[in-house]
Amino acid sequence: MSDTALTSARDPNTASVRRVPNGFDVAALLFIAAVLIAVAQAARHTFAPLDVPQTRAIQLDPAYLPGYALRTVMRMFAALACSLLFTFTYATLAAKSRRAGLVLVPVLDILQSLPIFGFLTFTVTFFLGLFPGQVIGAELAVIFVIFTSQAWNMAFSMYQSLRTIPSDLDEASRGFRLSSWQRFWRLEVPFATPGLVWNMMMSMSGGWFMLVASEAVTVGDTSFQLPGIGSYIAAALGARDIRAVFYAIVAMLVVILGYDQLLFRPLVAWSGKFRFETTQVDQGRDPWMLALLRRTRFLRFLGDSLGSLFFAVSGLRLASRGPARPRNRQASRLTDAAWIGALLAVVAWAAYRIVVFCLAGHLGLGDVGTALLMGVYTMLRVVVLMTLATLVWVPLGVIIGLNPRWSRVMGGAAQFLAAFPANLFYPIFVVVIVAHKLNPDIWLTPLIVLGTQWYIAFNVIAGAAAFPGDLQEAAKNFRVGGLLWWRRVILPGIFPYFVTGAITASGGSWNASLLAEVASWGRTTLHAHGLGAYIQDATTRGDTARVLLGMVVMAGFVLTFNRVVWRPMYAYSSKRLRL
């Protein structure tokens, strides 16, 4: 509970003053009311019949864009709320339970690399079946697809934070005898907040990147276009309307700048108070939205009251507890063996079912070899592009993250650049490649990095922003600089964040290969050799067996790469680089 709330609780006169709204309260309340009215106006369409004209035809008149933008933002924030819930449950269980982690972490690796079309295949049918003939079924299907582009990096960020909590904070929580619930909300969530906020920003941008594939859906005989910027972009690309594409870019810029100013900049500034440090660090001036909220009276009193009520009913108040029960940290070897045996049995059964399904589709060893060869081509692209992204964004991310003012300014710009769907670059790439007779295998490759480089950038910025100020002061006092400062100070400090960004960037790169290895503009379509193009072609032909084979091969490459490269680095950062 804050000191303001305690004072108000003791002094009725002070409390009455706090309840009196001022001009800032009026402005904030009017803004909240306007947002609620706009949301209610847009939400009423979700219960309309699915066959109404608005779900079949997207108007390219820019006058429709404000309404489309509102519908898109509602879907993205609904998916973000689901991603937060998933993060707090799935990632926490994976980090705290060794046995659960044996299953949940590999599953998370697979899920983040599975092509978005793999989710569309069954989710559209499932959600439309829940609400037959209604728009809400299609809305839920779109929200779920956006969720699949947002949740994984947030979960990895939370997992990384829980695995790298400093040992002195861990000992302090045990000394205060915090319960698991208290420890989660008083230690683990605050410690994870700075990195999680930056990954929420990345998740919103990732949602934009996959928006075209989610709002304009065709799966078999099922086809619909929900009003939104994504479906507007799809219609503009189909009509080869450059002016409409420009209108969509402007609308995206306005929307991203809007929620950056109203939500993410205040969140980044607020998350700065959870940095693990013992010295005061200049965080710069508060963003105008956060300053406005802090100058309100009634809203602050209401927030303090709700916080006090939450602490009272949630068991987060610190109270004297009995001596902690000794816990057996040595798990039973017999139980571990049985658990691993059960997992291997499940994996063997799943592999058997996949083989049977592929054989039923008349696939042979030659088809498997072709898929593996295509996977090697895509893997080479992923490795080269991630190396280049690391060389560029590690130094830039450190410079931006260590300067609070720069991080706030660059946050909005980075969100906008990361949000660009690869489809918007198709006209440029296709026209240039065809005009100059370039090799698509080489010149379509940069499309992969357009979205995935930002996972590394955002996580490195988050790591640098969370770097303890007292360690910075110690390095200055000992006059540690140059390459020694990079090797001994900052790189070890941001290493866990970099590994998190690299894992999510690696999985995202494989997913993005479906958009990058096949590019279309009008009637011209370019194909690069790779697993993404292999799955895209199989999807277009309706060859389910080859789609499944391609997805299994992709999951195998991602799991192998993560186990050979990223997981050892993750283990090293968890054991050796804890502050």
pLDDT in tens, 362-408: 777 788 888 889 999 999 988 888 899 999 999 999 998 888 777 76
Structure tokens at 287: 């963003």
Q: How high does pLDDT run on average in the chain?
A: 77
Pairwise pLDDT comparison (283 vs 151), residue with the higher score = 151
Q: Is 228 helix (H, G, I), strand (E, B) or coil?
A: coil
Q: Report how far residue 26's alpha carbon sits from residue 561's, in angstroms, rounded to the nearest whole number.
A: 55
State the alpha helices, DSSP H only, in 97-226.
Answer: 98-113, 116-130, 135-163, 167-175, 180-183, 189-209, 211-215
The helix or strand, by DSSP H or E, that contains position 46, with its residue range, turns out to be: none
Find the mean pLDDT for residues 434-462: 82
In a domain, 245, yes or no: yes
Residue 520 pLDDT:
72
In a domain, 18, yes or no: no
Pairwise pLDDT comparison (166 vs 315), residue with the higher score = 166
What's this model's pTM, rounded to 2 decimal places?
A: 0.76
In a domain, 555, yes or no: yes
In a domain, 140, yes or no: yes
Structure tokens at 432: 């240039």
Identify whether the C-beta of residue 378 lies closer than 8 Å to the C-beta of residue 510. Answer: yes
Residue 411 pLDDT:
67
Helix, strand, coil percent content, the chain, rounded in steps of 5: 80, 5, 20
Identify whether the C-beta of residue 412 lies closer than 8 Å to the C-beta of residue 261. Answer: yes
Pairwise pLDDT comparison (572 vs 312), residue with the higher score = 572
Q: Report how far residue 573's alpha carbon sits from residue 464's, in angstroms, rounded to the nearest whole number.
A: 15
Looking from the CA of 505 toward its CB, the CA atoms found within 13 Å total 32
In a domain, 48, yes or no: no
Confidence of residue 12 (pLDDT cuts 50, 70, 90): very low
Structure tokens at 28: 């904030």
Identify whether the C-beta of residue 159 lies closer than 8 Å to the C-beta of residue 93. Answer: no
User: In total, how many domains does the chain have?
Assistant: 1
In a domain, 314, yes or no: no
Domain CATH number, residue 414: 1.10.3720.10
Predicted confidence (pLDDT) per residue in 14-28, tens digit = 444 455 667 777 777
- State the Rg of the chain over Cα: 25
Identify whether the C-beta of residue 412 lies closer than 8 Å to the C-beta of residue 256. Answer: yes
Pairwise pLDDT comparison (63 vs 221), residue with the higher score = 63
In a domain, 310, yes or no: no
- Greatest mean pLDDT among 265-279, 399-413, 464-478 lies in 464-478
Residue 119 pLDDT:
61
Residue 15 pLDDT:
44
- Residue 77 CA to its chain's centroid (Å): 12
Q: Look up the domain containing 488 and give its range.
A: 59-274+338-576
Residue 10 pLDDT:
41
Residue 279 pLDDT:
53
pLDDT over 50 at 571, yes or no:
yes
In a domain, 42, yes or no: no
